[in-house]
């Protein structure tokens, strides 16, 4: 999977991951409170 990705996509991955983690964090907060 990683092999088929272009360099641009690989560089973008950490950003996408951070955004997803932030959204998950907000969802968890909504659930808990």
- What single string gives the DSSP state of each residue in 1-33? -TTTS-HHHHHHHHHHHHHHHHHHHHHHHHHH-
From CA 17, how far away is CA 31, in angstroms rounded? 21
CA dihedral 15, 17, 19, 21 (to 10 degrees): -150
Is the pLDDT score of 5 beyond 80?
no
Where are the domains positioned within the chain?
1-33
Question: Considering the entire predicted model, what is its pTM?
Answer: 0.51
- Residue 3: what pLDDT? 60
The overall average pLDDT reported for the chain is 81
pLDDT band at 29 (very low <50, low <70, confident <90, very high): very high
Is the pLDDT score of 8 beyond 70?
yes
């Amino acid at each position: 999977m990683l092999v088929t990705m272009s360099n641009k996509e690989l560089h973008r991955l950490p950003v996408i991951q951070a955004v997803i983690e932030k959204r998950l964090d907000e969802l968890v907060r909504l659930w808990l409170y």
